[in-house]
Structure 1
Amino acid sequence: MSELLSINGEFTASVVIARSFKTSSGALRWRVRLDVGLVPDMTIAIRLDERNVAPLDYYVLPSIDMNTPRLKLAEQNGLSLDAYRFESLDFFFALAGRVRFAEAA
């Protein structure tokens, strides 16, 4: 059994949960481990809130752009990472949806 999600038989995704922790200065941080062993097409990282009880936001990370097995996230990460940040998974569901060829053309 694979730990990957197969989306419409067209691409794979891995889901990881990133718990928050505070640094000694009181800043919030998150560690994300990308599952490079399973080689997903993308990783959905769910960043939890300060109390680690609810999703804060989501990072939809394409494997082609990720060159490290681990990421350290801060509250603000700059465009190179925050370009993949979303408030909900609506973007991912739209990406995964099927469209008739005539509609796409």
Structure 2
Amino acid sequence: MHLFNVTCGQDQVVVDLDAMSCTCKKWDMLGKPCRHAIACIFFLNREAEEFVHQCYTKETYLKAYAGSIPPLVGERYWPKVTSPLQPPPIKIGPGRPRKKRVKDPYENPKKPGG
């Protein structure tokens, strides 16, 4: 069991290398060892790459992009849409509408147009 108590400045965190977890939660969220975990890994003379989540490996990357997406044919081969497209309904917000626009703080208050 590889459990470490790491002091970093005024903070103390617990690093568990077996569970690939740190109480700072960066390792848990990203899947890559945080600086506290890397200090523990180097203390054991091990490589940090062993403790990176599997989603960051080359094999996973190649599996994700192994398939291909066929290119689209020209626009004239697209299916025709017969139903008319209508814009969404205008939504009027609650409250009374403004009579004047809100002026910029650096704008001349006596200038016409608002």
TM-score (norm 1): 0.26
Which structure carries more strand by proportion? 1
Q: Which is higher, the Rg of structure 1 or of structure 2?
A: 2
Which structure carries more helix by proportion? 2
